[in-house]
Chains A and B, each alone.
Chain A
Amino acid sequence: MSCILLPKSEESYQLATKYNFKEWMIARYLTIVPETEKFLDYVNNRASNQYIRINSLKIDIDTLKQKLLEKNFKLEKTLLSEVFLIKESKFPIGATMEYLSGYYYIQDLSSCLAVECLDIEEHDLVLDMAASPGGKTSFMAQKMNNRGMILALESERKRLRKMMFNLSRCGVINTVLWNINGEKIINYNFKFDKVLLDAPCSCDGIMQKDPTRKHTYTKEMIRYCSIRQSQLIESALKVLKPNGLLVYSTCSLAPEENEFVIDSMIDKYDITVESINYGVDSLLKFGDKIMNKSIKFTKRLYPHIHNTAGFFIAKIRLNNINK
Chain B
Amino acid sequence: MSHHITEAQDLCYSYPDGHQALRGVSFRIHHGESVGVIGGNGAGKSTLLMLLTGLLEPLRGQVAIGEIRLNSRTAKLVRQKLGMVFQNPDDQLFMARVEEDVAFGPRNMKLDEAQVGERVALALEKVGIVHLGDRAPYRLSAGEKRAAAIASVLAMGPDILIMDEPTSALDPSSRRRLINLLKGFEHTKIITSHDLDMVLELCQRVLVLKDGILLCDGPTHQVLSDGNMMIEAGLEVPQSLRGCPSCGWKG
Tell whether A pairs with B: no
B interface vs A, CB < 8 Å? none
